[in-house]
Amino acid sequence: MARLFGTDGVRGLANSELTPELALSVAAAAARVLTTHDGAHRPVAVVGRDPRASGEMLQAAVAAGLASAGVDVMQVGVLPTPAVAFLVGDLGADLGVMISASHNPMPDNGIKFFAAGGQKLPDTVEDEIEAALTAPVERPTGAGVGRIYDIADAHDRYVAHLLAATPNRLDGLKVVVDCANGAAWAAAPQAYREAGAEVIAIHALPDGENINDGCGSTHLDDLRAAVVAEGADLGIAHDGDADRCLAVDATGADIDGDQIMVVLALAMREAGELVDDSFVVTVMSNLGLHVAMRDAGVKLRTTAVGDRYVLEELRATGLALGGEQSGHVLIPSHATTGDGLLTAMRLMARVAATGRSLAELAGVMTRMPQVLINVRVTDKATVAASPLVSTAVAAVEAELGDTGRVLLRPSGTEQLVRVMVEAPSEEAARTAADRLAAVVADVR
């Protein structure tokens, strides 16, 4: 039987794969695993969601499941995923639940859980929850049934937290923010304005169906055009649940997560906040980041792809910064998970404090041309063991030397092998990637 939990919670097509019955059951199971009933303490959960239409249905089911297990439910409404994680700690809750499918299209939805303190769950705890789904249980009755109520100041608590985590004001900056018609539609413009920026918000009118629809961090065209048309200093793009942040500079040029981390790392080092002059990246981070940080005297630790692996390394090492090229950035001193709004405010604070443009700050790093090809295969394991593939990879690596890089990575969810090549030119990267993809595709 396939594992219920994926790389980031439970996801699926809402009301088909991810049904209200499943949502109720998994929430009740999570409550049994993550809380204790000792008579002196009544467990409490924080529940939030993004604006997609199915979130209303699933929130009701999750709240019912938690209450059926004797947990009081504090509903915080439509807020970013990192806001829910923050509020779990801020409100002293025992667990948190975010109902969102992040950057996925509207028909999908998902359920993410946080333990006390707003911490993401390790695989072992997710396995316990899955096992608890089928375990016999005695439900509370009478006064033991959980109560459900709304927290009126959740939004303001989160915005105040963001302002407190921003090292300086943003006065003088003009920014366009693309809210992806998602969870940050209200919080992002408010936080940036209260920090002093002049804010133009686009895609900030969610109707339950338009989340991530041609907008947000996966579709930057509207943001690029708006920044140029408005004469803004920069643009910020969030995804549907706002745990990511990408940017564009004043000319409309993209600034990805690697470049954002470079800007933040140098700012944090200057402020004495960059522990061990090091930060954490994944194997997908651009070679240009490695070169720029080597030249700046900053060390890198590299993990597998996925924010959970970045977070594990941050916890193990005590480092102060980590993230992914996709814009998922973690700053453990201020957040327990990736927070796109926090990332944006720290990035804008650096621009405001230095008086330098985002293009100049990000220009410390030169992105190497990077080509990624997804190759559908019959068996990922056969490809990984193939001597033909390893020989082809070795040949390309020898040709590139220290001017490029090759990475073959199996998909975690599909029968795909991702072929990534970096090289000094787009043409060279494309040629090498096509060559390797053809070899991978031929493996039987």
pLDDT > 70 in the chain, percent: 99
Same structural domain for residues 143 and 165?
Answer: no
CA distance linking residue 302 with residue 297, whole number of Å: 16
Residue 5 lies inside a defined structural domain of this protein? no
Contact 93, 48 (CB under 8 A): no
Same structural domain for residues 340 and 229?
Answer: yes
Residue numbering of the annotated binding site for Mg(2+): 102, 239, 241, 243
Whether pLDDT at 2 is above 80 = no
Q: Across all residues in the chain, what is the average pLDDT?
A: 94
Encode pLDDT of 291-348 as tens digits: 999 999 999 999 988 888 999 999 999 999 999 999 999 999 999 999 999 999 999 9
Three-state SS at 47 = strand
pLDDT band at 402 (very low <50, low <70, confident <90, very high): confident
CA distance linking residue 118 with residue 87, whole number of Å: 7
CA distance linking residue 4 with residue 132, whole number of Å: 12
Helix H or strand E encompassing 268 = helix 257-270
Active site residue 68: no
Residue 264 lies inside a defined structural domain of this protein? yes
Residue numbering of the annotated binding site: 102, 239, 241, 243
What is the mean predicted confidence (pLDDT) over 62-91?
98
**DSSP symbol at 142:** G
Which residue among 129, 152, 175 closes a domain? 152
> What tokens appear for 51 in the block?
């604006």
Same structural domain for residues 204 and 163?
Answer: yes
Same structural domain for residues 195 and 163?
Answer: yes
Residue 384 lies inside a defined structural domain of this protein? yes
Report the range of poorest mean pLDDT among 28-32, 200-204, 397-401. 397-401
| 186 phi, psi to nearest 5 deg | -100, -45
Same structural domain for residues 106 and 174?
Answer: no
Same structural domain for residues 288 and 334?
Answer: yes
Same structural domain for residues 426 and 298?
Answer: no
- The residue that leads in pLDDT, 442 or 223, is 223
- Domain of residue 404: give its range: 370-442
Encode pLDDT of 378-391 as tens digits: 888 888 889 999 99
CATH number for 423: 3.30.310.50
pLDDT > 90 in the chain, percent: 86
Q: What is the pTM of this model?
A: 0.92
Encode pLDDT of 241-269 as tens digits: 999 999 999 999 999 999 999 999 999 99
Which residue among 135, 152, 169 closes a domain? 152
CA distance linking residue 33 with residue 129, whole number of Å: 6
β-pair type (278-282, 299-303): parallel
Residue 162 lies inside a defined structural domain of this protein? yes
Same structural domain for residues 66 and 135?
Answer: yes
Encode pLDDT of 418-441 as tens digits: 999 999 999 999 999 999 999 999
DSSP 135-146: S------GGGS-
| 74 phi, psi to nearest 5 deg | -100, 105
pLDDT value for 393: 93
Residue 1 lies inside a defined structural domain of this protein? no
Contact 91, 153 (CB under 8 A): no
CA distance linking residue 439 with residue 236, whole number of Å: 39
**Dihedral angle computed from the Cα positions of residues 46, 52, 53 and 57, in that order, rounded to the nearest 10 degrees:** -30
Same structural domain for residues 417 and 341?
Answer: no
Same structural domain for residues 164 and 311?
Answer: yes
> What tokens appear for 260 in the block?
């954002």
Residue 2 lies inside a defined structural domain of this protein? no
Same structural domain for residues 45 and 72?
Answer: yes
* Residue that is written with structure tokens 């643009």 in the block: 235
CATH number for 33: 3.40.120.10
Which residue among 124, 152, 180 closes a domain? 152
Q: Give me the number of domains the chain comprises.
A: 3
pLDDT value for 20: 98
Amino acid making up residue 184: A
Same structural domain for residues 227 and 308?
Answer: yes
Residue 54 lies inside a defined structural domain of this protein? yes
Residue 201 lies inside a defined structural domain of this protein? yes
Catalytic residue, candidates 68, 102, 285, 326: 102
pLDDT value for 83: 98
pLDDT value for 413: 63
pLDDT band at 1 (very low <50, low <70, confident <90, very high): low
